[in-house]
Chains A and B, each alone.
Chain A
C-alpha cells in the first residue's frame, strides 16, 4: 500500500498546488484599479449616511453600471447602497430568497419600503463574503416575505470589509434574483438523493468489505458537503455565515475524495494497466487545465472568455470526467461485449450533455438563473447513478468470478483428496489380495500337503505343525481383512457393516446394535468402502476411548441422502479434543470427497453421537 499512497500524494500535490495558485490569482485581481460608474441602481459613498438620508436621495444619485464595466475590477468604499424597485402582483403571501454575488461584504441590511414608511427591515449577518473564484454563483441573502399586490422599494445596504470586487454579473438584474423556495426544495431533494446513495454505499461497504466502497462513500459524502457549502444553502438555513475558505475546502475535499476513490477503484484492476494509464493521463489533464486557468487569471481578468473555454475541461470535466474515465476503464476490462458498447455510448452521451450545456451557457444561449443549481447537481446525480451502477456491476462480476474460482478450487481439492484416498485404497486392496490370495493360497496348499504327510510324524509334532500353520493362516486372514474387507464387493454394505459390528462384539465389550431401517444397496463401491472405513474408524475410536456400554450403528438412505449414525452412551468427549483427533480428520477427509458432512454431539457422561449425512451424486 505505501506505493499506492505515495502515488496519490504525489499526483494530488499538483492538484492542490493548482488550486492554491488559482485562489492566489483571484486575490491578486484586487490589485487592479479601475473605477466603476455607479448605476442608477446603486450608489457608493465614502461617508456613512443613515437610511432616512438615503431615502431622500433622488434617483439620479444612483448611477447605473454599464455591461461593459462588468468584471473590470473592484471598488473601495466604506459602504454602498442598492435601490431596487419591487412590484408583486400575486394574490397570496409569498416568500422569496434574495440572492446575489457579493465579495467581501461585512454586513448586509435591507429595508423594504412601501410609500414613505419602512415595511420590513432585516439585517444579514457578518461577512457574507466569499473568496469568489467563479462568476456563476449566487448566494442567498435574505428571505423576503411579500404580501399580495405589493409595490415598494428595496434598499440594500452593504458594508464591505475594505474593498469590494464586483463579479461580472453582479449588476445584471438577473443576478440579484429572487430565488424561489421551490428551487431550494429541489436542491434539498438532490442532496437527499445523494444521501440515500451515500447510506446504501456505506451499507455495502460494511457488508462486502471492499476497500473502494469506502472511498466511494467518502466521495459521495464530499459531494453532499460540496452542494451544501457551495450553495450556502445549508449554512443559510442553519444561520451560519459561510466564508470563502469553505468553498475552497469543498473543492479540495471533493477533489481528494474523487481521486482516492478512483485510485482505489483502479487498484482493484491491476490487470488493466491501460485503464490505469488513461486515468493518470486525465488527472494530468485536469491539473494542467487548472494551472492554465490560474495562469490566465494572473495575466488579465478580461481574458475571462478564454478562461471559460479552459473551463470546458475543468468544470464540465469535473463532473463528467469520472464517468468518462470509468467508462474507459470498464471498456478496457469488461469481457461482455454488450456492456462494453453500452458503456462507450453512455459515457460519450454524458460527456456531451455536460459539454453542450456548458457551451450553450458560454455562448449566452442557455442562461439559467442559477447555473450551479441546475446543471451541476443534475450532472452529479447522473454521475452518481452511473457510478453506482458501475460499482454494482463490477462488484457482482468480481464476486461471480471469485465464486467460480472458489468452487473450482474446492472441486480440485475434493478431487485430489478423492484420488489420494482412492490411491490408498487401491494400494490396500493390492496388498490385501497379495497377502490373502498369494501367501494365503500357498498356506492353504501347504496345509493340504501337510495333511498327507502327517502320518509320518508323531502326534505331538503333527499338532505343533498344524497349530503353526493355522496360526499363520489366521494372521494372514486377519491382516488382509483389515486391509480390505474381502466381502465388500461380494456383499451389500449393510451386510458388511453388520459383519464389522460382529467383529467388534466381545464378551466384555459394549453391546453393538446395527440398524438399517431403510436401505437399498444402490451405491458405488467407492461409497461402500468409504462408509465402511468411516464406521470402522468410529467403532474403533468409540470402543477404545468412550467406555460405552452400548453402541448404536444405524444407516438409512432416502433418495440420494445417506444418514449414518454412530452413537454411544459413554463418557463423552471434549469438543476440542475430538474435532482435531487424527481419526476424525481422516473421516472428514473421506467425507469431503464423498460429499458428506460430519456433526458431532457429545455430552459429558451421556455419550457421543456422530451424525453423518452423505449426498450421493444424482445419476
Chain B
C-alpha cells in the first residue's frame, strides 16, 4: 500500500510517517508539505490512499480534495483535521473525501481508518458522527414552526390588516426599505410565495399568537 500525506506541519508529517512506516502492509509513505507538492506527486506516482490535512495556507484541503478527485477519481482520500465543525465535514464530503478523521484521535484510530477505507471504501470517526448528529439536532428546529422576531410579528400583523409597505413604515417609524426586508424575510422564513400565502400560513400556524 502506497500512502501520500499532505500536511503543512512537519511534526505531524513526521509523526504519521513514523507510525505508518512500521506497518507491515504499507510499502511506502510519501510526505508533501503543501497542496501543490502533493498534487505533483499524485500526477507522477500511483498511490493507494491520500491523507489530507484541511487547514493549510494558500490552498486548503477542501480545494485540493476537489482537484485530486478530478485527476484521480479512484484515489481514496482520508481527511485529517482538527476541525469538527459539521459545515467543514460536509464540505469535505461534498468535495469527495472518503473519510474524515480528527487529528487528535491517535494512531490506533488512524490505522483503523486506513484499514476501513481500504476495505469498505469509507471511514468516519465516532466524534465526527456525533458532531454531525448534534448539528442535525440543531438544524431540526427548522422543520418546526419558524420563530418570528418581534418586528416581523408587528409587520406581519399589519400586512394581515392590509396595510401597505408605506403605511407600515409610517406606523412603526421605520424606513420602507426596512419594511420590505422584513416582508421578504417573512416570505422566506414561512416559505410563502406572496403576501396571500404569507397571510394564509400565518393564520394556519397561529403565528401572531405565539
Contacts and interface: CB of A to CB of B under 8 A. Distances in A.
A565 B149 contact: yes
Contacts of B54: 490
A490 B60 contact: yes
A567 interface: yes
A50 interface: no
Contacts of A563: 178, 181, 185
Interface stretch (B6-14, B44-52, B113-121, B155-163): B6-14
Nearest to B190: A517
Interface string B68-100: 000000000000001101111001000000000
Contact of A552 (B60, B86, B134, B147): B147
B207 interface: no
Contacts of A491: 85, 87-88, 91
Contacts of B12: 441, 444-445
Given A437-B55, A490-B62, A499 B86 contact: yes
Contacts of A565: 149, 151
Contact of A556 (B22, B138, B181): B181
B91 A445 contact: no
A326 B83 CA distance: 73
A447 B19 CA distance: 11
Interface string A182-196: 000000000000000
* Interface of A, helix, strand, loop or mixed by DSSP: helix
A445 B189 contact: no
A403 interface: no
B65 to A, nearest CB: 12
A499 B185 contact: no
Interface string A439-480: 011111111111110000000000000100010011001000
B83 A515 contact: no
Interface string B126-161: 000000001100110100001101110000000000
B11 A609 contact: no
A561 B14 contact: no
Nearest to B105: A447
A162 interface: no
B165 interface: no
Interface residues of B, number: 47
Given A452-B19, A486-B83, A441 B185 contact: no
A522 B150 CA distance: 28
A499 B86 CA distance: 8
B18 A449 contact: yes
Given A444-B104, A489-B60, A491-B88, A556 B19 contact: no
B107 interface: yes
A436 B8 CA distance: 13
Given A452-B22, A518-B184, A442 B11 contact: yes
B85 A558 contact: no
A554 B149 contact: yes
B106 A447 contact: yes
A415 interface: no
Contacts of B141: 511, 513
A511 B144 CA distance: 13
Contacts of A490: 54-55, 60, 62, 83, 87-88, 91
Given A448-B16, A449-B18, A490-B54, A441 B104 contact: no
21 contacts: A436-B55, A441-B11, A444-B104, A448-B110, A452-B22, A487-B83, A490-B62, A490-B83, A491-B87, A492-B87, A495-B87, A499-B85, A499-B135, A513-B147, A515-B189, A517-B184, A517-B189, A518-B188, A556-B188, A561-B177, A609-B150
Interface of A: 436-438, 440-452, 466, 470, 473-474, 477, 486-487, 489-492, 495-496, 498-499, 501-502, 505, 511, 513-515, 517-518, 550, 552, 554, 556, 558, 561, 563, 565, 567, 601, 607, 609, 611, 613
Interface of B: 8-9, 11-12, 14-16, 18-19, 22, 54-55, 60, 62, 82-83, 85-88, 91, 103-104, 106-108, 110, 134-135, 138-139, 141, 146-147, 149-151, 177-178, 180-181, 184-189
Given A514-B138, A517-B184, A517-B186, 17 more contacts: A437-B9, A440-B104, A441-B9, A445-B11, A445-B16, A448-B15, A451-B106, A477-B104, A490-B62, A495-B85, A498-B139, A502-B86, A502-B134, A511-B141, A552-B147, A556-B185, A563-B178
What are the 7 A-B residue pairs with the smallest beta carbon separation, nearest first?
Answer: A445-B15, A517-B188, A495-B87, A451-B107, A448-B107, A441-B9, A473-B104
